[in-house]
Amino acid sequence: MSTIAVARQRAMSILRDERFLRALGQAVFAIAVVLFVAWCLSNYRDRGSTFSFGFLREEASFDLAEGMAFSPVDPYWKAFLVGLLNTLKVAVVGIILATILGTVTGVARLSRNWLISNIAGVYIEIIRNTPVLVQLFFLYFAVILKLPSLKDRIVLPGPIFISIRGINLTWPRPTESFAYWLPFLIGAVIVAVGIYAWRVLLERRTRRPTSRLPWTFIALAVPLVGWFLVPGNPLYPNRPAVEGLRVVGGTTLSPEFLAILIGLVIYTAAFIAEVVRAGIMAVPRGQTEAARAQGFSEMQILQLIVLPQAIRIIIPPLISQYLNLTNNSSLAIAIGFLDLYAVSSTMLFQSGRVVEVFLMIMAAYLSMSLTISLIMNVVNRRLALVEQ
């Protein structure tokens, strides 16, 4: 073939070269995205909007009734922090409670008792087929706001007050001698870790299963002894008392906090119950039968055979549910609980900094989601390794 013809063929073929086409496709896509973003930004600037995070140091000029102490002269970033802490409060407590309730319900759903199984079933069906916001509204407006007034409050031993103002609990408060007691607390943790490590080494040496957890409870003796050794009482029960129209002392759980917490726990637990049920059912029946034939007790079967395998199946969807709970906590804005989202909204309207605040919201929620995913993935991998 002549060289010119070959060269022409070479030039033509680059247009049909798959590597070139792939690179070209990506370049075109990237340019399109950049152009689109540039167009959006130019529209933004045409409106005279600016972009800066300086506003965070300005005064908030609004008050926050929930969470850490805050006053209207505090800066915006502190408000954001208060909101974040409130959300974390709800998320952490919510996840723990929802897991407990969800597991109990899931196991109940598998019970041989027809009544128990169906009560759990009805609960799950109703909760899953109703939007979470409807449940929150019902709980907040129709239940909690219907609680008796402070005058007619329900009093439980403690004392614990239940009224429309929320729940007032007796809460331990540290006194001057608390500083002397603190070393005993830290010592208890060290002793507990030490006992646990000792039991693990013992198990490895004697090659016989040795119980670990019950022994670590011995460490509780340390703070107990410390309590008597320290002059006075390190903790002092702060009791709520009604003075006129207010409650003084104790810790208050606001009605909004109760509504969002209880609502989220009940809602998420229904989904967790299904996840747990699927996990347990996925463990083949033959295994429990074989174990039973070998003489294992029901408790041992549950602990050694069913749960380890079920947990591996349960964890990934469980992560989704935890993330759902954290994201749903933003609905607090609908019932007036000042979580991260509610506070951010106020910040947004007050300062007019729409884009900046939204970026902060996204960053905060993405971080929380990532953290939960990371922690659970570590747990997941650890449990998998234990079997392997």
Distance separating alpha carbons of residues 76 and 121, to the nearest angstrom: 46
Q: Are 300 and 379 in contact (CB under 8 A)?
A: no
> 24 or 197: whose CB is closer to other proteins?
24
Question: What's the closest the beta carbon of residue 117 comes to other proteins, in angstroms?
Answer: 9
Can you read off the two tokens belonging to residue 224? 């107990």
Distance separating alpha carbons of residues 74 and 57, to the nearest angstrom: 9
10 Å CB burial of residue 357 (0-12, 13-18, 19+) is: buried
* 341 lies in the site for other proteins, by CB under 8 A: yes
* 358 lies in the site for other proteins, by CB under 8 A: yes
Three-class secondary structure of residue 380 per DSSP: helix
Q: Are 225 and 184 in contact (CB under 8 A)?
A: yes
Q: How far is CA 218 from CA 181, 192, 212, in A?
A: 18, 8, 11
* 112 lies in the site for other proteins, by CB under 8 A: yes
> 90 or 230: whose CB is closer to other proteins?
90
> 186 or 355: whose CB is closer to other proteins?
355
* 50 lies in the site for other proteins, by CB under 8 A: no
* 135 lies in the site for other proteins, by CB under 8 A: yes
* 299 lies in the site for other proteins, by CB under 8 A: no
Report CA Rg, the chain: 29
> 53 or 141: whose CB is closer to other proteins?
141
* 33 lies in the site for other proteins, by CB under 8 A: yes
Distance separating alpha carbons of residues 383 and 377, to the nearest angstrom: 10
* 331 lies in the site for other proteins, by CB under 8 A: yes
Question: What's the closest the beta carbon of residue 140 comes to other proteins, in angstroms?
Answer: 9
Distance separating alpha carbons of residues 262 and 332, to the nearest angstrom: 12
Residues 261-290 vs other proteins: string with x where CB under 8 A? ------------------------------
Reference 281, options 91, 110, 145; nearest CA is: 110
* 154 lies in the site for other proteins, by CB under 8 A: no
* 365 lies in the site for other proteins, by CB under 8 A: yes
Question: What's the closest the beta carbon of residue 26 comes to other proteins, in angstroms?
Answer: 4
> 251 or 327: whose CB is closer to other proteins?
327
Span of 64-72, 177-185, 273-281, 352-360 interacting with other proteins by CB under 8 A: 352-360
Q: Which residues contact 341 (CB under 8 A, 6 or more apart)?
A: 83, 87, 329, 330, 332, 333, 361
Backbone angles phi, psi at 295, to 5 degrees: 105, 5
Q: How far is CA 381 from CA 99, 312, 369, 385, 388, in A?
A: 20, 9, 18, 6, 10
Q: Are 343 and 357 in contact (CB under 8 A)?
A: no
Using CB under 8 A, which of 93, 104, 110, 133 touches other proteins?
A: 133
Using CB under 8 A, which of 35, 68, 126, 193 touches other proteins?
A: 126
Three-class secondary structure of residue 2 per DSSP: coil
Question: What's the closest the beta carbon of residue 251 comes to other proteins, in angstroms?
Answer: 28
> 155 or 366: whose CB is closer to other proteins?
366
* 116 lies in the site for other proteins, by CB under 8 A: yes
Using CB under 8 A, which of 59, 125, 176, 298 touches other proteins?
A: 125
* 63 lies in the site for other proteins, by CB under 8 A: no
Distance separating alpha carbons of residues 356 and 347, to the nearest angstrom: 10
Q: Are 80 and 55 in contact (CB under 8 A)?
A: no
Contact residues: other proteins, CB under 8 A: 1, 13, 16-22, 25-26, 29-30, 33, 40-41, 43-44, 46-47, 49, 111-116, 119, 125-126, 129-135, 137-138, 141-142, 145-146, 323, 327-331, 333-334, 341, 345, 348, 354-355, 358, 361-362, 365-366, 369-370
